[in-house]
Copies of this chain bind each other. A is one copy, B any other.
Amino acid sequence: MTTNPLPSDKALVPFVSVDHMMQLIHHIGIEPMLCGLADYIEADFKRWQLFDKTPRVASHSAEGVIELMPTSDGEVYGFKYVNGHPKNTAEGLQTVTAFGLLANVGNGYPVLLSEMTLLTALRTAATSALVARTLAPQNARTMAMIGNGAQSEFQSLAMKAICGVREIRLYDTDPKATQKCATNLAGLGLSVTPCTSAQEAILGAQIITTCTADKQYATILSDNMIGAGVHINAIGGDCPGKTELAAAILHRADIFVEYPEQTRIEGEIQQLDPAHPVTEIWQVLTGQAKGRTSDKQITLFDSVGFAIEDFSALRYVRDQLETTRLFHPLDLLADPDDPRDLFGMLQRAI
């Protein structure tokens, strides 16, 4: 048996490994990359109505969930595979891992396969900062970061790069997580203040980000903690039964979401009546709906993550490949000389 001759370009799909993604982030720089991702996400949110949108396809088990998140703009199709297994951390595994794919709608051929564990962390932070730039009070310079896990540094740097935040006030129930985050952020141009309570963390903060894990109907923020004129960026409430905010806060806030059909199942607003009014963020970005209208207003971005953000992130990565060459060609697709002769291709490999 001999190995088949090298497959043609038609058979090869560019693959961005975790190692290549890390190289790409360092090559571009994390803050410029967060800005670039936010630009791609904003561009796709502004053409929201072009996209095929469906709630994710979830396979639930006792231990967690595996989801497929597909979307298409009519020319390019994308999907993300992502799991969520809260108990993984105890076994030294990631709670969330992900990979994604882009394909050509015209012929169905994949054009990019990419790791998305890192990329999802970046796109989540870029989306948060894009929305905060739109909704937070003018001249917001201080963010409280409640929950100092895997997402916290990315959130902090995105808010710095995209919204001009200069001070981050950290709090986590686990002081080691706060210490890890503070250490990671040292020397990156932010003033970082570790705090010993959520109450302390929100002092003077115009932006409050909550990103905690693995709590059923937790109350990370209670009603009395939230004064007028703040923007709340709530990320951790992202599946049925998992919320972070007291319902009373939701009733005082103007609520902005990605895709209501999904957020009403997975977000903070699962605590509210299904008819409670929310504003879709794409409508704010296109000028069809109002964002912040007064200094006193509490704005809340109830973020659960949506397939279009992954699509935008994959588009961004694909557009970097030609100049950076940070990918492997993957022999994923059969490529017979005659498309009807798959068997002949197989026999020629003997």
- A residues engaging B (CB < 8 A)? 1, 3-4, 7, 10-11, 15, 17-19, 22-23, 25-27, 30, 52, 54, 57, 59, 61, 63-66, 68, 70, 72, 74, 77, 79, 81, 83-85, 88-89, 91-95, 97, 99, 101, 103, 105-110, 115, 117-118, 121, 149-150, 152-154, 177, 180, 184, 330-336, 338-347, 349-350
CB neighbours of A347 from chain B (8 A): 184
Judging by beta carbons under 8 Å apart, are A57 and B54 in contact?
yes
Partner of A342, one of B26, B103, B118, B333: B118
| A7 contacts across to B, CB distance below 8 A | 18-19
Residues of B within 8 A of A17 (CB): 330-332
Known contacts being A94-B336, A94-B339, A117-B334, is A61 close to B22, with CB within 8 Å? no
Choose from B19, B343, B349 the contact partner of A4 (Cβ within 8 Å): B19
Q: In the bound complex, do residue B344 and residue A184 qualify as a contact, i.e. CB atoms below 8 Å apart?
A: yes
Given known A68-B57, A68-B70, A341-B184, contact A63–B105 (CB-CB < 8 A): yes
Determine if A334 and B118 form an interchain contact, defined as CB atoms under 8 angstroms apart: yes
CB pair A349 B117 closer than 8 Å: no
Most chain B beta-carbon contacts within 10 A, residue among A118, A184, A330, A343: A343
Give A335 Cβ to nearest chain B Cβ, in Å.
Answer: 7
Give the contacting residue for A15; candidates B107, B330, B339; CB below 8 A.
B330
CB-CB < 8 A to A63: which residues of B?
Answer: 105-108
Contacts of A334 in B (CB 8 A): 18, 94, 97, 115, 117-118
Q: Which B residues touch A343, using CB under 8 A? A: 121, 150, 152-154, 184
Could you say which of A85, A94, A118, A341 has the most chain B C-beta atoms within 10 Å of its C-beta?
Answer: A94
Cβ contact within 8 Å between A103 and B150:
no
Of B1, B118, B335, B336, which is within 8 A of A346 by CB?
A: B118
The 28 sampled A-B contact pairs (Cβ below 8 Å) are: A1-B23, A17-B332, A18-B335, A22-B345, A22-B346, A26-B349, A57-B68, A59-B77, A63-B106, A65-B108, A66-B105, A81-B110, A84-B108, A85-B106, A88-B339, A93-B109, A94-B335, A94-B342, A115-B332, A115-B333, A117-B333, A118-B334, A118-B346, A121-B342, A154-B342, A177-B340, A180-B341, A184-B347
